[in-house]
Amino acid sequence: MTKNGNSLDQRTFSKLSRLYIIALSTIALSVVISQFFVRNHLNTQQSDSTVINVAGRQRMLSQKLTKDIVSLTVYADKENRNLLKNNIKHTLLLWELSHNALQKGNDSLGLPVKNSKKIDEKFVKINPVFNKIQKASTLIVQKIEDNLLVSKEVLNAHIKKVTQNESVFLLMMDDIVNQYDAEADEKVAWLRRLELYLMILTLLILLGEFLFIFWPTAKSVKTILADLLSAEKRAKKMAFDADELSVAKEKSIKELRALSHAMDETLLFARISQSGTIIHIGNKFSRLFKISRFKQDILFWKFLSTDKSEQLKIEGLINKHQKTGWQGEVKATIKSDVPVWLEMAIIPYRPTEEKSELLIIASEITERKFAQLEIEKLNKANFDKKISQQKIISSKIIENQEKEQNRIAKDVHDGIGQMLTGLKFNLESINLDNLEKSKEKIEHLKILTTNIIKGVRTATFNLAPPELSDHGIVPALTKLTQELTKLTGKEIVLFNKSDFNKRLDSLVEVNIYRITQEAINNAIKYADSSHILVSLSHSATILSIVIDDDGKGFEPSKVKKVKNGDGGMGMTFMKERIKYIDGRLFLTSELGKGTRVTLNIPI
């Protein structure tokens, strides 16, 4: 038989074995499951007879308790009453223990913890009757223990309670015993049905295994026997063909030797072990690194380089990629400290199933690499120059961010912070003893609180509105003017002369919004203006925005010289932003005649 035939037969027999194991395991599993369900059910029924017995005994105990209590009316002497008292006490203790155990379970009595819902409901009904009998009996025992010669009249009231409730308790207890008995019968009936279902399931499993496992297996065995006979004939033919293949193999070996010699002479070729020792090195490799003879146990990375750091790098590459392979550039150094660059490939190779090697195939790229390094050097110089320029731009952006943060902090500190401090002092100064003065201060506090809310809304609104990113610059400026009108009480109007509604680049829109916002805020804070007009107009290439106010005006020449304080940082902020978007800003103002800020932005 051929190797493939043997493999096929082994796989078939293995498959058949697995099928038989599955069949037997299924039968065993069904038996185990059946036993599990049956035993589990039997375990739940073990306590049924005990429960019924204890429940029935409750009737007897209640009757005995009643009988002993009634007997107290017959015997008035100390000795008999003491004897009856002990009997009542013992019976009452056992009666109480059994009653509680039936509801909550008891390991010593062998009673389960959980009852059915119906039994729980019946115990809920019987418990008040039980409590009456138990309370009356306990009081009788206590009376006798306190005074053994207690008169019949004292006991009659409690004895009457016991006798009145005893018949009701017996009827309810009969109902509970009957319910326990009915539930036990239901469990037995369920067990019978379970055994029937499990038997049917087992028969179905056996039928299914016969139809789908045993019968197909028998046919498969018959087919395998036929295949074995056919494989024997093929094996004889393959033995004849093997002789011819042996001749062809010898021829191929000769050709491989010739090919190996050609590779040694033309390629940088080597074979190394998994640990890195050289097994074979090509002639061209030896000539390049000027090593004609070397020890058999020399490590490949020590052969390639005399530099320690290069050796460690090559060693790391080989150890890391000995299973996956690798291709890339490697720097080596020959004995005369001359650098050599190699384009090298590491290829995992298994000459036999037990042995693993690595093939190293490389080509020298020293001249090309030096030219590449020179180009990279020039590119790096150009890149460093661009980075330097970028750092200057970044520093400007960071500087503007810091200015903006300082502006917001100043708004919060000078406005909201001072008003909150005033609010705190006014709250602390309220004297509830003087109601008239307290009312005045509270009214003042209301006004101050309203101003604080306005200040907070103004500060928060200075952040970028969602309209800017969602709908563009015109809706954002419309929202800005409307909100500032509400917050400040000033007349702030937006007039879109040319019905501009285009979207611009997001950075351009943000900077336009911030410049316009800064101009309006300056007019509100410093110009003492009552009317502010924001006008938009555009052409094919320019968007123009003009902010006019009727405030007190100022001298623009003096603002340029201001480095700190009101106005100066705002103008610097506006100029930096307009420069960033390649626009132009014009500022015209005159004392007593208001201010105009004009923005021209390319679109």
Q: For residues 164 and 144, what is the distance between their CA atoms, to the nearest angstrom?
A: 21
* Residues making up the chain, counted from first to last: 603
Give the pLDDT band of residue 9 (cuts 50, 70, 90): low
Q: pLDDT tens across 457-482, in order?
A: 666 666 657 788 889 999 999 999 99
- pLDDT score for 405: 62
Q: For residues 206 and 197, what is the distance between their CA atoms, to the nearest angstrom?
A: 14
Q: pLDDT tens across 31-80, in order?
A: 777 667 666 656 565 566 777 788 788 888 888 888 888 887 777 677 88
β-bridge mates for residue 532, sequence order: 492, 549
**Share of residues in the chain with pLDDT > 70 (%):** 79
pTM score, two decimals?
0.32
Residues 141 and 131: beta-carbon distance below 8 Å: no
Residues 197 and 104: beta-carbon distance below 8 Å: no
Element (H, E) at 339: strand 339-349
Find the range with the poorest average confidence among 367-381, 413-427, 475-489, 573-587.
413-427
Does the structure show a pLDDT above 60 at 13?
no
Q: What is the DSSP string of 479-517?
A: HHHHHHHHHH--EEEEEETT-------HHHHHHHHHHHH
Who wins on pLDDT, 566 or 238?
238
Give the pLDDT band of residue 563 (cuts 50, 70, 90): very low
Tokens of 386: 């661009």
Q: pLDDT tens across 133-170, in order?
A: 888 888 888 887 776 555 666 677 778 888 888 888 88
3-state secondary structure of 267: coil
Give the pLDDT band of residue 584 (cuts 50, 70, 90): very high
- pLDDT score for 515: 94
- The residue-averaged pLDDT of 251-269 equals 65
3-state secondary structure of 280: strand
- The residue-averaged pLDDT of 544-566 equals 74
Give the pLDDT band of residue 15 (cuts 50, 70, 90): low
Question: Whole-number mean pLDDT of the chain?
Answer: 79
Find the range with the poorest average confidence among 148-157, 230-239, 308-317, 416-425.
148-157
Max mean pLDDT range (100-104, 284-288, 559-563): 100-104
Q: Are strands 531-538 and 491-496 parallel, antiparallel or unpaired?
A: parallel
Find the range with the poorest average confidence among 178-187, 298-307, 427-436.
427-436
Q: For residues 523 and 3, what is the distance between their CA atoms, to the nearest angstrom?
A: 97
Tokens of 302: 């020590």
Residues 510 and 477: beta-carbon distance below 8 Å: no
